Structure 1
Amino acid sequence: MKLIGLTAFGGPEVLAAHDVAEPHAGPGQVRIRVRAAAVSPTDTGVRTGGYGGPEPTEPLAPGMDAAGVVDEVGDPADGLDTSAWSVGDEVMAMALPSGEHGGAYVEYLVADADSLSRVPEGVSLEEASTLPMNALTALQALDRLDLPEGGVFAVTGAAGTLGVYAVALAKLRGLTVIAEAAGKDRERVLAAGADHVVPRGDDVAERIREIAPDGVDGLLDAAVQNDAALPAVRAGGGFATVRGWDAPEDADVALHKIFVFDDYHHGGKLDDVVAAVESGRLVPDYGRSMPAEQAPEAHRLLEAGGQRGRIVLTF
């Protein structure tokens, strides 16, 4: 099968098409004929070796988001019930490049039966591929912050895919949302459901406290502003970081380190994402499609910045 990946860490040019053995669904697994794989900043980290580990000894596929059609279903096993899936089902799934089944830049992806969900009604496979990883990240952050209805929630980097999903899902929980975004992205985050928008900048905490003088109840730092964003949170509030940052020891907040990898076996959460999309409250953040062989160019475009809506590789 075709795999778009790398055999050495480096720039976008290390991505190339490889012909590798075709995987098959084993017990407790299904196989997805991948049609679309979203390109995210996490993928560029995999490509550069930013997550550590030795250089690959065989082609390594980046990609944490896939959508396609089930074409093999294994027998139920080890608590993994495959009976919910049938050949021909349109599904979306999160993939783990460093995991047993590898990343999503492949023609065929094997997935554990509890790691996927159906594609929302009326949504294309390209659109669906933008949902799993970032929506699960947003849900994990909201779950960990555990804010009551009516609470005040802030998001830095709200114009990115993670940010707009966090805004929309927070509104579904009845939260007041303060979003940080550049002026050119103001309408984008308001459309996602933000109640207030503050401009980007090192003074993000001051801007947020102009709206919430006592500080917000919880904050998702999608822009990785760390120390600059921390003062926006009230004493006793929560701060969700997506890059494993450690807050100062004297910080009077609850720090939540968000690792979406922990939700690989939580396909049920993806069902919540499906419901949010079908209700019209969450809109897939799809930008454009490119043939899978153009993955190097897709990575260059992403790293150049300014992309709004996910680039999706098609197989």
Structure 2
Amino acid sequence: MRAAVVNAFGGPEVVEVVETEVPEPAARQVRIKVAAATLNPVDAAVRQGVFGGAGERIGLGWDVAGTVDAVGAEAGAWAVGGEVVALAYGAVVPLGTHADYVVVDADAVAAAPKGVDAVTAATLPLNALTAVQALDLLGLESGQSLLVTGAAGAVGGFAVQLAARRGIAVTALAREADEGLVRELGAAEFLAEGRGGFDAVLDAAVLGETALAWVRDGGAYAGVIPQAVPGAVRGVRVAAVEVSADGGWLGELVRLVESGVLTLRVAETFALDEAAKAHARLAEGGLRGRLVLVP
């Protein structure tokens, strides 16, 4: 089978599509025949060596939508032929989801959303799980105020929708051109420049100390990159989400997609063999939605 990997760190040009053996599922694992797999900023970070692994072959890709192709022992209710989505967590692994097949833990899998094609469904797991787990860290109650930075991005957009559903007063920080988009996602207020006084900030744009300054004294800050979290000040509770593969939560998010609460956004698609080209497009920026690789 084919898989996108890096054997050395660098720019998009270091991404290779190689031939490798089809992985076999162990106990409590399933193998998925990949129909679509999202390219995320974390893949660029892996490619650049942010998470280490020098001298190793590192697979790329965390999100996947596809069909269960094989199951290991004690794989629960999953059966061959089921259409699923999953998060394959891991920054330095030999194979990721940017491949023809991928093996994931059975408890990381959820049934694919009905009425949604695989390319679109593949954009759900990593970004939506990151958003909901960051909101859980903040622990806000209905009526409290939340500023979401990078609100037009994938994580930020899901955070706006999920927070608004919880009755939280959401303010979206984004570019002026994105005001219409973030208001459609559920933001009650829009800002092109930050300001203080919020009960909490979900910092999807990774602004760090700048965003921390916009939290009221004794409020809460949640980042999306553990290594980039600013130090606590003014009694502000500071945390960062390290996303976990949670099939139960993913199943809940799938139901929110099916009920129209969550909007899935695809920017462009690329063939798996064009993985390096897709990385180059990601590096250009300006995307409103995710890039998706199709084997």
What is the TM-score with the length of structure 2 in the denominator?
Answer: 0.96
Counterpart for residue 254 of structure 1? 237
Contact 2:17/2:275 (CA < 8 Å) preserved in 1? no
CA-based RMSD: 1.4
Counterpart for residue 49 of structure 2? 49
Counterpart for residue 273 of structure 1? 253
- Determine the C-alpha separation between the residues in 1 that align with 2:270 and 2:99: 14
Kindly state the Cα deviation for residue 251 of structure 1 after the two structures are TM-superposed. Answer: 3.3
Kindly state the Cα deviation for residue 171 of structure 1 after the two structures are TM-superposed. Answer: 1.2
Q: Note closer, same or farther for the CA distance 1:100–1:290 as it changes in structure 2 (3 Å cut).
A: closer
Kindly state the Cα deviation for residue 100 of structure 1 after the two structures are TM-superposed. Answer: 6.0
- Determine the C-alpha separation between the residues in 2 that align with 1:193 and 1:176: 9
Residue among 257, 263, 272 paired with 1:292:
272
Q: Does 1:224 align with 2:222?
A: no
Kindly state the Cα deviation for residue 116 of structure 1 after the two structures are TM-superposed. Answer: 1.1
Q: Does 1:124 align with 2:117?
A: yes
Paired residues, what number? 294
Counterpart for residue 140 of structure 2? 147
Counterpart for residue 262 of structure 2? 282
User: Which digits, 9 at most, give the CA deviation of each residue in 1:116-135, with x for residues without a partner?
Assistant: 11111111110111110111
- Determine the C-alpha separation between the residues in 1 that align with 2:92 and 2:252: 24
User: Which digits, 9 at most, give the CA deviation of each residue in 1:98-151, with x for residues without a partner?
Assistant: 466732111111111100111111111101111101111001111111101111
Counterpart for residue 243 of structure 1? 225
User: Which digits, 9 at most, give the CA deviation of each residue in 1:24-50, with x for residues without a partner?
Assistant: 112111100011110111000011101
Counterpart for residue 79 of structure 1? none
Residue aligned with 1:168, SS: helix
What is the TM-score with the length of structure 1 in the denominator?
Answer: 0.90
Residue among 185, 189, 195 paired with 2:182:
189
Residue aligned with 2:142, SS: coil
Counterpart for residue 7 of structure 1? 7
Residue aligned with 2:213, SS: helix
User: Which digits, 9 at most, give the CA deviation of each residue in 1:218-254, with x for residues without a partner?
Assistant: 1111111111111211111110012223434543200
Contact 1:29/1:75 (CA < 8 Å) preserved in 2? yes
User: Which digits, 9 at most, give the CA deviation of each residue in 1:1-24, with x for residues without a partner?
Assistant: 111111111111111211111111
Unmatched 5+ stretches in structure 1: 77-81, 210-214
Q: Which amino acid aligns with 1:73?
A: V
Counterpart for residue 166 of structure 1? 159
Contact 2:232/2:238 (CA < 8 Å) preserved in 1? no
- Determine the C-alpha separation between the residues in 2 that align with 1:219 and 1:108: 38
